[in-house]
Homo-oligomer: A and B are copies of this chain.
Amino acid sequence: MIFSPSRPGIYARGTETVDQILKAALAVLIDEGSDAFTLRRIAARCDMKVGNVSYHFPRKEMLIQVMLDELVDSYGAMMDKTVRRPGLTAEERLRRVIILCLDDIQTKRTTHLFTELWALANHSDFVADRVRVFYERVHGAIGEYVAELNPALSADEVHSVALFISASMEGSTPFLGHGKPWAHKMPAFTALAATSLVHLAKTVTSRDLAGLMAQTA
């Protein structure tokens, strides 16, 4: 017996196969994009036949859902593990989140994956929901530090600041992400982000968040 029966399921081969399919599916999405996200390419990527992929995931939709669930979990776990270390000040923790995120954005995996997910979320309620859940977690973590650094802010204001901090980081993806035109400027970007976003978290006031209804036209 080659595979360890560490997962649910009677036969070890089955759960191993499911893992291979999920891994291959993610790889296809990352390496070839959502246009190429077909059962045939996924099957080819893990040396299987289409029918077998269909056997384990009777609907393509199911494969996508399991894949995204695991993906969001793994990103959440990564964040928790790296950030929630004892003995660090809120400021230091916020700085670490920022650096962690921007480092991660430089990976091909994250650059490609999240741009695909943002696009898919436009027309898929399921993807939109998974993306929302993930960022709720991220914004929640960032918000904790903001609240600690700036106790005068209301919960809603804290969330707005967290949104801004997160957006400032995520917005680097199409500019400085993997393979993007200004990827080489990520060090400067990271330095600026860490400094200015931490400074913002500490100094932002309710007034800054209560501008007039912003309109130009």
Report whether B214 and A194 are in contact in the complex, using a CB–CB cutoff of 8 Å.
yes
Report whether A163 and B176 are in contact in the complex, using a CB–CB cutoff of 8 Å.
yes
Report whether A196 and B204 are in contact in the complex, using a CB–CB cutoff of 8 Å.
yes
**How many monomers of this chain does the complex have?**
4
Report whether A214 and B115 are in contact in the complex, using a CB–CB cutoff of 8 Å.
no
Q: How far, in angstroms, from A191 to B163 measured CA to CA in the complex?
A: 13
Q: How far, in angstroms, from A166 to B112 measured CA to CA in the complex?
A: 20
Q: Is A195 an interface residue (CB 8 A)?
A: yes
Sample of 7 A–B contacts (CB below 8 Å): A99-B215, A115-B121, A121-B174, A160-B192, A170-B171, A187-B214, A190-B211
Residues of B near A172 (CB, < 8 A) are: 163, 167, 171
Q: Is A210 an interface residue (CB 8 A)?
A: yes
Q: Is A68 an interface residue (CB 8 A)?
A: no
Residues of B near A214 (CB, < 8 A) are: 99, 102-103, 186-187, 190-191, 194
Q: Is A70 an interface residue (CB 8 A)?
A: no
Residues of B near A189 (CB, < 8 A) are: 160, 163-164, 167
